[in-house]
């Protein structure tokens, strides 16, 4: 399939904006990422509900879409007669480097490193038999569920300990960099959950793509995703959100990905059901999807500038206005990168980081092609 799938760009745009909806609670917390490690403890009813709207769901959606993207890369390699995984491993390496830089320089809970590790594993599975893929999904899924159960049991039975110093409201940018390097094992511990969960969701994304979820004939499949993901997943997810911090792992790593499946089915059905030229809203979300990497990094950088002490320091200044000012700053940052991505794509085909990424990806192979003698 060489044509562009419109629903994918919309889904990526939705996932990027939704991811900020989760991360914005980390940025706006006076204690910064320290408060995330309290697993939502101490939040009031309104804040708990607002967090419920995004927590984990768009991480799950983005993970599914990475699996779909891997399948498209695999199809492209097969169609061109190229060795697989071959160059894809270089692509995954670049993703890991990008994630590492993003972690050190901007954001503690970057997901790109986890996606890079996951993609290196799944790249060797995407071309295997259905039996092998199913076995990997069962093993990775069982491991993931077991770890979630162990963490949940620990959270329910073991009193929470102390927290790390909150240098973010007043500290400098270099203080933050030092804090990330010093506490790398703590901040990167989520990878333990992201990788096995990612293996399952990557492979599920591959299977959904092959089953025609983005085609007209996939209406029945999309309906099932909506019923299971939204009909069952949303009520269950809402219940665990209000059940207390002890249920954090079940809420974020088990039920939220289930809701993500429903979102994938719903958004795809809406896009396929639209007729005529795309409107302003759809174009705006599509532009974010087409510049997803640039928007992902930009939103975290913008939130850092707005919230942390080396920037505007609003996390401390507006603490008394929580939770109501948080959705406002989320909407403002979203509007900013929607406008910037739309303006950028008027002149360029890819986002700025996507251009740099494409150059870095092609550079070693272009050099090889130039230096290889002909004849």
Model pTM? 0.92
Evaluate if residue 37 carries a pLDDT over 70.
no
Evaluate if residue 301 carries a pLDDT over 80.
yes
DSSP sequence for 299-338: HHHHHHHHHSTTTT-HHHHTGGGTTTHHHHHHHHHHHHHH
Which pLDDT score is estimated for 359?
A: 92
CA distance 46 to 51: 9
Contact 31, 162 (CB under 8 A): no
* Between 164 and 18, residue with greater pLDDT: 18
Evaluate if residue 36 carries a pLDDT over 90.
no
CA distance 149 to 157: 12
Which pLDDT score is estimated for 277?
A: 83
Quote the mean pLDDT of the chain.
90
Evaluate if residue 373 carries a pLDDT over 60.
no
| Mean pLDDT within 336-362 | 94
Residue whose token pair is 């994630």: 99
Evaluate if residue 147 carries a pLDDT over 80.
yes
| Mean pLDDT within 192-206 | 96
Which pLDDT score is estimated for 326?
A: 95
| Mean pLDDT within 228-236 | 97
Percent of the chain exceeding pLDDT 90 equals 77
At 103, which helix (H) or strand (E)?
helix 88-105
Point out the least confidently predicted range of 39-53, 97-111, 119-133: 39-53
| Mean pLDDT within 201-219 | 96
Which pLDDT score is estimated for 215?
A: 94
Which pLDDT score is estimated for 4?
A: 73
| Mean pLDDT within 138-160 | 92
Which pLDDT score is estimated for 314?
A: 92
At 11, which helix (H) or strand (E)?
helix 6-28
Evaluate if residue 374 carries a pLDDT over 50.
no
pLDDT digits (tens, 9 = 90+) for 84-93: 999 999 999 9
Which pLDDT score is estimated for 230?
A: 97
- Cα Dmax for the chain: 73
Two tokens, residue 137: 């999904």
Evaluate if residue 164 carries a pLDDT over 80.
no
């Amino acid at each position: 399939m060489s044509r562009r799938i419109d629903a994918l760009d919309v889904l990526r745009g939705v996932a990027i904006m939704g991811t900020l909806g989760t991360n914005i609670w980390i940025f706006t917390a006076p204690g910064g990422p320290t408060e995330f490690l309290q697993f939502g403890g101490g939040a009031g009813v309104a804040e708990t509900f607002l967090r419920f709207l995004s927590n984990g769901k768009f991480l799950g959606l983005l993970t599914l879409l990475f699996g779909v993207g891997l399948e498209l890369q695999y199809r492209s390699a097969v169609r061109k007669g190229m060795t697989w995984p071959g160059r894809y491993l270089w692509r995954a390496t670049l993703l890991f480097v990008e994630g590492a830089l993003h972690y050190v320089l901007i954001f503690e809970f970057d997901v790109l490193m986890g996606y890079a590790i996951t993609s290196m594993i799944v790249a060797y599975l995407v071309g295997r038999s259905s039996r092998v893929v199913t076995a990997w999904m069962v093993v990775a899924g069982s491991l993931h569920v077991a770890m979630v159960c162990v963490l949940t049991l620990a959270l329910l039975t073991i009193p929470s300990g102390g927290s790390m110093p909150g240098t973010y409201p007043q500290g400098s940018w270099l203080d933050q960099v030092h804090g990330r390097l010093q506490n790398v094992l703590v901040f990167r511990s989520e990878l333990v959950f992201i990788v096995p969960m990612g293996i399952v969701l990557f492979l599920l994304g591959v299977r959904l793509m092959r089953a025609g979820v983005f085609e007209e004939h996939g209406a029945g499949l999309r309906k099932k995703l909506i019923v299971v993901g939204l009909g069952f997943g949303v009520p269950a997810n809402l219940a665990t959100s209000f059940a207390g911090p002890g249920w954090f792992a079940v809420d974020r790593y088990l039920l939220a990905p289930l809701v993500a499946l429903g979102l994938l089915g719903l958004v795809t059905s809406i896009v396929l059901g639209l007729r005529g030229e795309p409107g302003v809203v759809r174009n705006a979300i599509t532009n974010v999807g087409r510049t997803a990497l640039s928007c992902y990094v930009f939103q975290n950088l913008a939130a850092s500038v707005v919230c942390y002490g080396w920037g505007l320091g609003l996390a401390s200044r507006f603490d008394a206005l929580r939770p109501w000012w948080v959705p406002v700053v989320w909407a403002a940052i979203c509007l900013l990168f929607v406008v910037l991505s739309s303006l950028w794509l008027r002149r360029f085909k890819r986002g700025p980081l996507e251009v740099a990424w494409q150059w870095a990806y092609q550079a070693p192979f272009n050099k090889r092609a130039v230096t290889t003698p002909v004849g």
